[in-house]
Amino acid sequence: MKGEVGLDGIAIIVNDMLVINEDTLNEALNISAKVEVKFVFLQAKTSDRFDGDEMGTFFYGVKSFFFTNGTEAKNKR
C-alpha cells in the first residue's frame, strides 16, 4: 500500500528499561555511565501464508525509522 510503513509497533529499551516517556528515558540514562539501547520492531499478521512484499515493506519501515527526517509517507493511523 502506498504510504504504508509496515510497522505495527516499536519499543525502545535503554539500559534494560522500556522507554515510555521522557521521564523513563532519563531514569534509564541515570542508571549507568554506559548506555545500551535496543530497538524492537513489531509487525503482526494473521495470514496463513508468507508474503515477501509485506516483509519488504516491514524492512523499509525499519530503515525509514532510522534514516528519514519525518518527511516520508506515514500510515494514516
- DSSP of 23-56: HHHHHHHTS-SS--EEEEEE-----SS--HHHHH
Dump pLDDT digits (tens) for 45-77.
888 888 888 889 899 999 988 987 755 555 555
The sign of the CA dihedral 25, 31, 37, 42 is negative
Q: What pLDDT, on the 0 to 100 scale, is given for residue 1?
A: 46
DSSP SS3 for 77: coil
- Domain coordinates of the chain in residue numbers? 9-67
Instruction: Check whether 41 has a pLDDT greater than 80.
Output: yes
- Tens-digit pLDDT profile for residues 3-37: 567 888 999 999 999 999 999 999 999 999 999 99
